[in-house]
Structure 1
Amino acid sequence: MIPFLELSKRLARRGHAVTFVSTPRNAARLGAVPPDLSARVRVVTLELPAVEGLPAGAESTADVPPEKVELLKAAFDGLAAPFAALVAGRMGGGGEGDGFERKPDWIILDLAQNWVWPIAEEHKIACAMFLILPAALLAYVGTKQSNEAHPRPTTEDYMAQPPWIPFPSTLSYRRHEAEAIAATFRPNASGVSDMDRLLQLHRPSCRLVVHRSCPEAEPRLFLLLTDLFAKPVVPAGLLPGDAADDDGGDQPFVAAARWLDEQPRRSVIYVALGSEAPVTAGHIRELAIGLELSGARFLWALRAPGGRSPAALLPDGFERRVAGRGVVLAGWVPQVRVLAHAAVGAFLTHCGWGSTVEGLFRFGHPLVMLPFVADQGLVARDMAARGVGVEVPRDEDGGGSFRGADVAAAVKRVMAGEEGEEMARKARELREVVGDRVRQERYFDELVQLLRRYK
């Protein structure tokens, strides 16, 4: 949601009116639109329908355990009718007026809203799919036609580079990742597979595919996509948000911020596995063992699975033994503020694209990589090949489990010695190339020109 809001704000700053459509709780999570943009960005909310088995008030994947995400998708599909009414101008949302004040020039949608296409086509509105995943995932998934020509019936098929990629690449999955990605090609409780939703971008109403990426971030693959999909696949740039957007004023972070201020420059590894990774109690235990064995200073943003107490999942005496050199935070952590701090020198991450953009491309931190699902393995392979990080080994016969000793070894490689210095140098070089604000703004200006041309 945050990249979609950032896209909205940038469009508004260039003089365009934006209606941001979401559900009430998700809209509240985003906070207020900046006062200088309130005349051009209006937030409209649609109530998420109830679905049996979905917890009351759940509106986001952050609200449910992994096994209930498919129920969230089923509820999400129930927004088709109210959204159609909104487009037709017969329904008030959370903003002023009934529906849209005029027919939109564009509907910019995420990959999940496969029900938007017929609505847009009925009203003759152009659509752009905005993908906050890396171009690598779209290249791996391929087109509807390429999947029909090259079906992937086995797990091993998902472990190999797709046949439609015409050059050697790092597009491959480990076995446990391949099993997870294969599942996204099968229908879930919503009756539709995740990949069927994504593959709708072949429709004529999809005029553009827009990525939160750029050719410098993904050199060869990004340039392949326009030919592969036979329509413009264009960069929006990396869309770094304002540091103020990351400031929730959370009191538990105040003490951690003071601790960071006391640490030597580039001596701390920040540890965060995002809100989407299916982390288990066993993962947390092995990660704790690895951080303790590494001897490194660390700040760990720990999200415990199933609403459990994080302290109960840590090894006995862990926080006492690492006191002074390690801090564990169970609440909200302002990630951008942490990554921007001078004491932070590396990032242990699940390699979600948003975290990779923030940690590597924005702040130039080398990575210790612990991918789980979706695009994360593809990102990890690419960054390891580019020499800016180390991936923690997994036991493929054990369902992708990992050992604390391997975590410790990876942390030591990134945080110490000549190898660590070389990775840090390459990460800073990548930040300089991709972090060129002038270039990033130019990408967005070119996107706006394309929106005008293709509407």
Structure 2
Amino acid sequence: MESKTPQNLRVLFFPYMAPGHMIPMLDIAKLLSHFGVQTTFISTFGNAPLVETSINHFNSTNSSNPSIKLVLIQFPSAEAGLPVGCENASYLTSLDMLVNFHKAVAMLRQPFDQLLEQLLPDAIFSDYFLPWTLDSASNFGIPRLVFYGTSTFAVCAMHKVDHYDPHSRPEESFIVPDLPHPIHMLKSQVHNLSKTDPRIMKIMLAADESDEKSYGTVMNSFYELEPDYVDYYRNVLGRRAWYFGPVSLCNDNIFDMSTRGDKPAIDKDECLNWLDNKKPSSVLYVCFGSMIKFTSTQLHEIALGLESSQQPFIWVLKKELFEDEREWLMEEYEKRVEGRGLIIRGWAPQMLILNHEAIGGCLTHCGWNSTLEAVTAGVPLVAMPMFAEHFYTERFIVDVLKIGVGVGVKQYGTGQRFEAGMEKVGVVVHKEDIERGVLTLMVGTEGEEMRRRARELKVSAKMAVEKGGSSYLDIGKFIEELSQKKTEVI
């Protein structure tokens, strides 16, 4: 990728403390560094392992570009009522912990303000969930760019659904109003804001308000993926936005792809060798991100659904399993699926796996990072949405892109132990539904057609980030505008 001369631009990055937010924002820092922008990335000491290896390798192998400077600040876990060392949202297991976590995040304002005064960057990129950074940036006359960790489609759909307020209406099903496509949803799939804990609601309202007042938005997406919604967001909703994605494609070698994020729980060669022994497009990759905490019952249903499908699979499980689940999975299940199923406990080299020719599909919670990384690898999806914007992403995958099939989840929060600010639900996705979704994708002509469309999107994704592509040009436009703004100030 060619570097430009951005008149010594300096940009500060401050992500929300969760893997799905930190990792793509670091990728954006890498992209801007490739264009000659001086970048500083803020993290806490406890979250440093998620980014430090990647930053050090980038700096050592990209000597022609400005280095990424990593600045670590102290996270006030104990002061906010959290266990010592609880510095990442993926560790949270209760509503009270989430509230205290955001209390701790807000307490970072003082060190953040000190950094702004010291560095005086030309812009800051901060997460949607850090709304107070707008006030900090405004006090120093610095433009704040909001990072959204989801698609433009989901942002537009959520905006329309919030105004429509389906929970105030008698109908169970509805069409999201005024979107370019007819999007059918159930109100049970939409977070009921009236039943949200007031403490969480306050955080969400502050985030929305600061979003509207910020300089603009940066999206991990690309124009060709969702052109109708990029245009809708910019021209109908009137939001300024730049599209830099898919940002994961800046990791274009085996080392970067295998060390992106936390330390993998499996050796990359062991994983690749296992895949090398499978037929092309025959293996299902199963991963539900870093935030999902399933009940024991739901984990069992997923396991049995995968087993009865008779399809080869790689299943990534969180390390924090309860004792009964760990024993059941280790002593019984793994023996039954030996040779056909590979279980990874902990972090997986997801990009490497998805880009292997043996992978033919991905069972996902519809988190945007996993969805977009699958698209970038040309892999279609089995959608099992859980909460947040997941149900909107499912509709985007199934109804707009037509590269996936849903398992029929109808209830927000299905199968989980904890999800911030929502009512507990005693519903699970049954093994028969999971098996049916897997077989639809992995066996037969319908799944092959989804794979064909996904492979077309893979080509479009790579073209978008290459010289002259839509995302490449958007980065250039952003740098040019920021440079002009800096010149006017001087």
Aligned-residue sequence identity (percent) comes to 26
Mapped partners of 1:80, 1:228: distance in 2? 34
* C-alpha spacing 1:227/1:283, structure 2 compared with 1 (3 Å): same
Aligned to 2:101: 72
What is the CA–CA distance in structure 2 between the aligned matches of 1:170 and 1:156, rounded to whole Å? 18
1:142 aligns with 2:159: yes
Mapped pair 1:351 → 2:359:
no
- Counterpart residue identity of residue 428, structure 2: S
Q: Could you tell me which of 173, 178, 183 is aligned with 1:170?
A: 183
Alignment size in residue pairs: 433
> Structure 1 residues 110, 258: closer, same or farther in 2, change over 3 A?
same
Match of 1:187 among 177, 185, 198: 198
Q: Contact 1:350/1:371 (CA < 8 Å) preserved in 2?
A: yes
- Residue 432 of structure 1 aligns to which amino acid in structure 2? V
Q: Quick one: distance in 2 between partners of 1:401 and 1:230?
A: 39
Tell me the residue number matched to 1:94. none
Number of the residue aligned with 1:380? 394
After superposing the two structures, state which structure 1 stretch, 19-28 or 153-162, moved more. 153-162
Indicate which of 244, 248, 260 corresponds to 2:255. 244
**Equivalent residues in 2 for 1:45-444 (5 A)?**
45-50=72-77, 51-65=79-93, 67=95, 68-89=97-118, 100=119, 103-142=120-159, 154=168, 160-163=174-177, 165-170=178-183, 172=185, 175=188, 177-179=189-191, 182=193, 187-188=198-199, 192-203=202-213, 206-240=214-248, 241-242=250-251, 243-248=254-259, 250=264, 252-253=266-267, 254-303=269-318, 308=323, 310-314=325-329, 317-360=332-375, 362-385=376-399, 386-394=401-409, 396=411, 399-436=426-463, 437-438=465-466, 439=469, 440-444=471-475
Partner of 2:38: 17
Structure 2 CA distance for partners of 1:350 and 1:138, relative to 1, 3 Å: same
Distance 1:306 1:278 in 2: 9
Change over 3 Å in CA distance of 1:348–1:209 after alignment to 2:
same
- In 2, the alpha carbon distance for the partners of 1:157 and 1:454 equals 49
Q: Encode CA deviations 1:96-146: one digit per residue, 9 max, x unaligned.
A: xxxx1xx21111111011111222121111111121211123213339xx9
1:218 deviates by: 1.6
- Structure 2: where are the runs of 5+ without partners? 1-21, 415-424
Alignment of 1:21-32 (within 5 A): 21-32=42-53
Per-residue CA distance 1:324-374 (angstroms, 9 max, x = gap) = 2111111321111111112111111111110011112x1111111111111
One-letter amino acid of the counterpart of residue 63, structure 1: Y
**1:410 & 1:245 partners in 2: Cα distance?**
32
Question: Greater RCO between the two (CA within 8 Å, min separation 6)?
Answer: 2
SS in 2 for 1:114: coil
- Normalising by structure 1, report the TM-score: 0.86
The Cα RMSD (Å) is 2.8
Contact 1:54 1:71 in 2 (8 A): yes
Kept in 2, the 8 Å contact 1:284–1:313? The answer is no
State the Cα distance separating 1:173 from its structure 2 match: 5.3
Deviation at 1:247, TM superposition (A): 2.0
Label 1:239 to 1:308 Cα distance change in 2 as closer, same or farther (>3 A): farther
Once the two structures are superposed, what CA deviation does each residue of 1:244-295 show, in whole Å capped at 9, x if it has no partner? 2232474634544322121111111111111122422222110001001101
Q: Which residue of 21, 25, 30 corresponds with 1:4? A: 25
Seen in structure 2, the aligned counterparts of structure 1 residues 141 and 422 have a Cα distance that, compared at 3 Å, is closer
